[in-house]
Amino acid sequence: MRHLSAPVQGGRPGDRTPPKPAPPPPPFWRRYLIPVGLVLTGWLLFGALSKPASTLRYSDFLGKVEAGQVSAVTIRSDGGITGQLTAPPGERRDFRTTAPSGAVTDRDLLPLLRDRKVAITAKGAGSAFWAVVVSFLPTLLLVGFFVWMGRRSADQMGGIAALGRSRAKLFDGSRPSTTLADVAGYDGVKQEVMEVVDFLKDPAKYRRAGAAGPRGVLMTGPPGVGKTLLARAVAGEAGVPFFSVSGSSFVEMFVGVGASRVRDLFTEARKRAPAIVFIDEIDAIGGRRGSNVYGSNDERDQTLNQLLAEMDGFDPTAGVVVMAATNRPEILDPALMRPGRFDRHVDVPLPTLGDREAILAVHTRDKKLAPDVDLRVVARGTPGFSGADLANLVNEAAIHAVRAGRDTITAADFDSARERIVLGRREGSNVLLPEEKVAVAVHESGHAIVAALCPNAERVSKVTILPAGFALGFTEQLPEVERRLYTERYLRDSLAVRLGGRAAELAVFGEASTGAANDLAGATDLATRMVVEFGLSPALGPVGYSPDGPGHLGPQGPRRLWSEGTQRVIDTEVARLVREAEDRATDLITGHRSALDALTDRLLEQEIVDGAEVYALLGGERVPAPAVKG
């Protein structure tokens, strides 16, 4: 069982940058070079050198001439003789022989050939060119092999040298780029970064006024809020080259590679100035130096030192604006955060209600929506969602519609998608036993009744006992307004709502179940923060121990900065707050037992009850909050 008061987080709006085109294929003839070379070499070695003719001794040649078995001869001036025999078909007929010195001009050979009617052809000495080529062929092959090996070694050395080159992706002005019009919402953040755009478009205007443009803009915020999209939109608005690189791409196992890549990146950016260099997840290389308890990391420190020098060192970079994004600004080195390096610190928060509606409009503009879909209502039901979460919500709703055999997305699809993201997939096979179903109905009815009666609690939107994910049922509360400040009354009401399910089980069955484990953990965590962080404990006094980090990546937990005696006081105060919340929830359940029983029966019958029915059972009644003590 789970009490749902604020969903979690989802997608980036409107990123339409086209993918990087594939490199052109190699010429078609390149693939035939090696086979042709092998065939030619084989022909030279075996075809050109080998002759199909058989070799005869000169005496045998004379005997065959006398026997009339020679039909034609070719006599060269160097004594070589080739010809054909009058052999029967199917046997080799070509032959060759070499006459002794002076035998070619022998007065007996030529008359003998004429008497036997042998066709005689005279020919000069053969060319020595191919003989020289063939004799040098092994040497040429060996030289070619060494040349090939040398080039391969040079390529390998070039690959090692390429380790120091920047791996930044360049998006130049000739390619379609994202603009600020593609970024939905975030009007305040857009206004902050527009000055960077104005400076890149017209730097002379700033020089005339004696003003210097920002050298660096650091964007911080939770994951998925669109920090990278904003940086790309700035480059698109300014119409300048945009170098995008991740902080982790500077980290290698070789010392000095990261610093070399930083130098190469800024060298390329200077050549194309004005330009924007965007470093995503800069905390990978910009962490505080000397913070490693096991010793300093020389490679990371060298990379950071080179980045500091490039941004504002002895030779400052002109016309290059560095934009960076991180979820952990608290770990960055102070030298990196100072003015002159990152002059602007832009916080990109989770989108507000209006921003979420605009982001949803961007993600649904190419989808068919049913008339019952109100994006304002959907946005109101997604507090705490980031842009990435909203993109995921729209995609899950579309998948749910396809699963139902439709191409139109309805409001029910958005509700199912939100439940899947927050709670998990609904298991049709997860069937509860009859007694378990009753216990879940009582538990969720307790949550809903207490939430409806607490004046500072969020309004109940829906109650269900259908299992989803790890939750056997849940009570959904949607905020009516965007809250940024939480009063003690609101926090106490939240504690009471969390313990309403357990209080209902105790009132109806006289015992609690394991279904309240998640509620107890959430209530204990909230009470601990009230005592440790918010100073809402009279016994501990106005003392607050801040958590470790600003919370962009979620609560990291408080640092242990107190003594054992203080810890005992904290434990006592946390137990007191949770006990008071449970007593208050029990009083509300006992005073409205008839409404609890009626809601339980309706849940067992319908499985899903709208929030309006809960308030109807209570007659629209809300009891006043008790006076806050201390």
At 308, which helix (H) or strand (E)?
helix 298-312
The answer on 449 and 595 residing in a single domain is yes
Residue 320 near residue 285 (C-beta atoms within 8 A): no
Q: What is the 3-state secondary structure (H, E, C) of 585-609?
A: HHHHHHHCHHHHHHHHHHHHHHCEE
Residue 127 near residue 37 (C-beta atoms within 8 A): no
Give the CATH number for residue 251: 3.40.50.300
Question: How many structural domains compose the chain?
Answer: 4
User: CB-based contacts of 161: which residues, under 8 Å, 6+ apart?
Assistant: none
Residue 248 near residue 286 (C-beta atoms within 8 A): no
Range list of β-strands (E), 458-610: 459-464, 474-478, 608-610
The answer on 305 and 410 residing in a single domain is no
Among candidate residues 303, 323, 350, the one where a domain is terminated: 350
HSE value, Cβ hemisphere, 13 Å, CA-based, for 541: 2
The answer on 302 and 203 residing in a single domain is yes
Residue 9 near residue 222 (C-beta atoms within 8 A): yes
Residue 22 in any domain: the answer is no
Dihedral Cα 546, 550, 555, 557, nearest 10 deg: -30
Among candidate residues 350, 379, 409, the one where a domain is terminated: 350
Measured distance CA(283)–CA(337) in Å, rounded? 12
379 Rama class: left (phi>0) / alpha (psi -120 to 50) / beta: alpha
Name the nearest CA neighbour of 364 among 379, 353, 383, 386.
379
Residue 559 in any domain: the answer is yes
Give the CATH number for residue 89: 3.30.720.210
The answer on 391 and 443 residing in a single domain is no
Q: Which two tokens stand for residue 304?
A: 């950071």
Q: What is the reported pLDDT for 154? A: 53
**What burial letters (b/e) apply to 94-130, b meaning 16+ CB within 10 Å?**
ebbbbbeeeebeeeebeeebeeeebeeeeeeeeeeee
Q: DSSP character for 547? A: B
The answer on 222 and 162 residing in a single domain is yes
The answer on 247 and 157 residing in a single domain is yes
Indicate the SS3 state at residue 434: helix
The answer on 294 and 209 residing in a single domain is yes
Handedness of CA 56, 59, 62, 67 (dihedral sign): negative
Alpha helices in 32-77 (DSSP H): 33-42, 58-66
Residue 304 in any domain: the answer is yes
Residue pLDDT, tens place only, 165-221: 444 555 444 444 677 777 877 777 887 788 777 887 777 887 788 877 778 888 888
Q: Chunked in runs of 10, what are the mean pLDDT values of the chain (630 residues)?
A: 44 41 58 68 58 72 82 78 73 74 63 80 64 66 71 52 48 55 79 79 80 82 83 78 79 66 83 82 81 56 82 65 85 85 85 87 89 89 86 91 90 88 67 85 93 90 83 83 85 94 92 89 92 89 71 59 86 94 93 92 89 86 43
Residue 549 in any domain: the answer is yes
Residue 293 in any domain: the answer is yes
Give the CATH number for residue 553: 1.20.58.760
The answer on 146 and 217 residing in a single domain is yes
Residue 402 in any domain: the answer is yes
Give the chain's count of helices (H) and strands (E).
21, 17
Indicate the SS3 state at residue 74: strand
At 124, which helix (H) or strand (E)?
none
Which class for 312: exposed (0-12), middle (13-18), buried (19 or more C-beta within 10 A)? buried
Beta bridge partners of 123: 76
Q: How far apart are the first and last CA of the chain?
A: 34
Q: What is the reported pLDDT for 587? A: 93
Cis peptide before 274 (omega within 30 of 0): yes
The answer on 280 and 210 residing in a single domain is yes
Q: What is the reported pLDDT for 448? A: 93
117 lies in which domain range? 54-126
- Look up 252 and say whether it is catalytic: no
The answer on 362 and 332 residing in a single domain is no
Q: How would DSSP label each residue in 126-141?
A: PPSHHHHHHHHHHHHH
User: CB-based contacts of 393: which residues, under 8 Å, 6+ apart?
Assistant: 10, 11, 360, 378, 382, 385, 414, 417, 418, 421
Residue pLDDT, tens place only, 103-144: 655 556 777 787 878 887 877 665 556 666 666 666 777 777
pTM for this entry: 0.64
Residue 12 in any domain: the answer is no
Which class for 485: exposed (0-12), middle (13-18), buried (19 or more C-beta within 10 A)? exposed
Indicate the SS3 state at residue 348: coil
Of these residues, 419, 444, 505, 573, which one is catalytic? 444
Q: DSSP character for 46? A: I
216-220, strands of its sheet edge to edge: 169-171, 242-246, 275-280, 320-326, 216-220, 344-347
The answer on 398 and 341 residing in a single domain is no
Residue positions counted in the chain: 630
Name the nearest CA neighbour of 553 among 253, 235, 329.
329
Give the CATH number for residue 391: 1.10.8.60
Residue 21 in any domain: the answer is no
The answer on 389 and 447 residing in a single domain is no
